[in-house]
Structures are given as structure tokens and as C-alpha cells.
Structure 1
Amino acid sequence: MSISTHRAGPADLDALALLFDGYRQFYGQASDVPRAREWLRERLRFGESVVLVATRAGKPVGFVQLYPMFSSVRTARTWILNDLYVDAGARRGGVGRALLDAAAKFARADGAAGISLETGRDNAAARALYRAAGWNEDATQWYSLPLSRSH
């Protein structure tokens, strides 16, 4: 089954809130779908983040949330990949890789100089995914390959 990705909009909010709630539970938070929905609604409404949704057979199965940052040294926008989540039933099927690729495509189109993220040193599955997708690791943080040569 093929995976497609798109930028989240208001029509995605209810399904996205369920995924975001699952993400928060993964990190030890109590389930609170209304809170998850409101958080996402506010970020999207005010343009404070970009959320990309992955679907398989028309069903949302994962998301990535990016927050804008700026590099003074490079005088360029960068993005923080803050949240990446794939529903447990869709893991190991290429969804995470599709979301990473969609995030890189989005950032390139935006003219960004790069994307960065952090993950726990003990998150071996995520680290393997990032490495396979071409991300570089240092002692504390992962960095993408530069997205443009002009910065």
C-alpha cells in the first residue's frame, strides 16, 4: 500500500489530534484528546508550526511537526523537527521515512538552510531511521544535510 503525505489543514484536525494524543502517551503523558486537538489547532491557526500528515489507504497513520527557527550565522531560516510519530499498527512500513522525506522536501521548498532534531540516545529505532535517511549524528543532536548550497 502506498503512503502519501500532505500539509495538515483544518480538515485534518480531528484525526491528527488522535495521533498527537498517541504521541504524547508514548512520552508518558495521560491521554487528553481535547488538549491535543486544541494544541494543534492553535499552532496551525497562528502559523506557529507546520504539520505534515502521512496517510495509507486514506487513513492518517503518522505525522511530523516542524517549528521555524533562524540561524544568525547563516542568516537563514532553519526548521526544528520537533515531533515525529507513526501509529503502532503502521510502523516498519516506510511511514517514518516518508515523513522525513516530506519534511526535507518542504524545508527545501521553503528555502531553509537545514533541519535539526534531537532524540534520546536510547531510541535505537529512531536513530536507525534517521541514519538510513541520511541524517548525521553528533554527541547530542541530529542534523540534516544542508538543504541548499547558498547558505
Structure 2
Amino acid sequence: MPDTSIRTARPDDEEPLARLDRAVWSYQHAVTPAPRPQEPFFREGAGPGAHLVAELGGRLVGYVRLGFPTSLASNSHVRQIRGLAVADEARGRGVGRALVRAAVDQARDGGFRRITLRVLGHNAAARALYESEGFVVEGVQPGEFRLEGAYVDDVLMGRSLL
């Protein structure tokens, strides 16, 4: 998408990212309670360098958070998408796709062999996006979460970077 740019987050993105996170929060994609207004966006192990952000027309409209599935050295060849958010007004404009592609490219360029993620079973739009970008379902944990009174599957997805 020509007017979307992707870059690594900077410390001064803290407040815009926190606002975005609060604005888009939903049990459609989150298993944790809604972020509180005073909660910092960046935290230990997930600082600015762990985030790629999308700007559309110079305005921050999305992010992808990257990390590791575990702290084990034997698992250090795998990168994990640990969060993805797109502002409501930017949805349907290719921002999420650009962020996923940038995450995959960054992981590949970093020498990682695989990239994985977890997505809620009822989040059909996110699952379709990931599948269209080469991720496959590698496992399902049925009823893993209870959200708003309903049991929701945790879908494990991944793809090779080789």
C-alpha cells in the first residue's frame, strides 16, 4: 500500500500506541482485560524495538509486537507475533497485511527459521489474513479461554521462513 509506511517504534510512540491499544481493545482478539488509561504500552521485554508501527498519511495507525515463544535457547530460532492492532479508520486499507509482511521480513532477515502466532478461534478476519500470508494452523487448544461467558479456542499458527 503506497501511503502506508512501516518502521520500528520509537520511545515517543508510547502515548499514541497506548491510545490505539485502548481504542481497539476487544475480546474478539484479546484474552487480557482492557488496558487501563495509566498503563504503559511498552514494558519489560516488549520495548520500542519489539514493535513495528504503521503510519498512514503520517499518522500512527497500527502495530505488530514481536517476541519469542519461550525463553529457552533451544527455541531461539523462532520469532512470534505477540500482538497486532490496526485503528478502526485504517481497516480494510492493507495496514494489517503490511504489518504481517514486515514482521515476516524482519524475522527472515534476522536469521530466524520460523514465525508463529496465536489467534482466537472466533477471530475469522485475523485468521484469514494470516492464512493468506502463508501461515497454517498447527494446533488448536479447544475452549482454552472463557471470554464474555463463552469458551473460545486458541489457534496456533506458524510458517517457515526458509
TM range (shorter): 0.7 to 0.9
Amino acid in structure 2 at the alignment position of 1:32? R
Q: Which residue of 2 aligns with 1:79?
A: 79
Moved more, 94-103 or 77-86: 77-86
In 2, the alpha carbon distance for the partners of 1:118 and 1:71 equals 21
In 2, the alpha carbon distance for the partners of 1:115 and 1:33 equals 31
Contact 1:66 1:81 in 2 (8 A): yes
Considering only aligned residues, what root-mean-square deviation do their CA atoms show, in Å? Answer: 2.1
TM-score (norm 2): 0.76
Stretches of structure 1 lacking an aligned partner (at least 5 in a row): none
Amino acid in structure 2 at the alignment position of 1:131? E
Q: Which has the higher helix share?
A: 1
| Count of residues in Structure 1 that have an aligned counterpart in Structure 2 | 139
Amino acid in structure 2 at the alignment position of 1:143? G
In 2, the alpha carbon distance for the partners of 1:52 and 1:33 equals 22
Note the 1:2-151 alignment, pairs <5 A: 2-23=3-24, 25-27=25-27, 29-35=33-39, 38-42=40-44, 43-44=46-47, 50-69=50-69, 72=74, 76-140=76-140, 141-144=156-159, 146-148=160-162
Q: Which has the higher strand share?
A: 2
Amino acid in structure 1 at the alignment position of 2:83? D
Shift, 1:71, TM fit:
6.5
Contact 1:76 1:113 in 2 (8 A): no
User: Which secondary structure state, in structure 2, belongs to the residue aligned with residue 93 of structure 1?
Assistant: coil
User: Which secondary structure state, in structure 2, belongs to the residue aligned with residue 40 of structure 1?
Assistant: coil
Amino acid in structure 1 at the alignment position of 2:133? A
In 2, the alpha carbon distance for the partners of 1:18 and 1:130 equals 25
In 2, the alpha carbon distance for the partners of 1:31 and 1:120 equals 18
In 2, the alpha carbon distance for the partners of 1:22 and 1:79 equals 27
Q: What is the percentage of aligned positions where both structures have the same residue?
A: 35
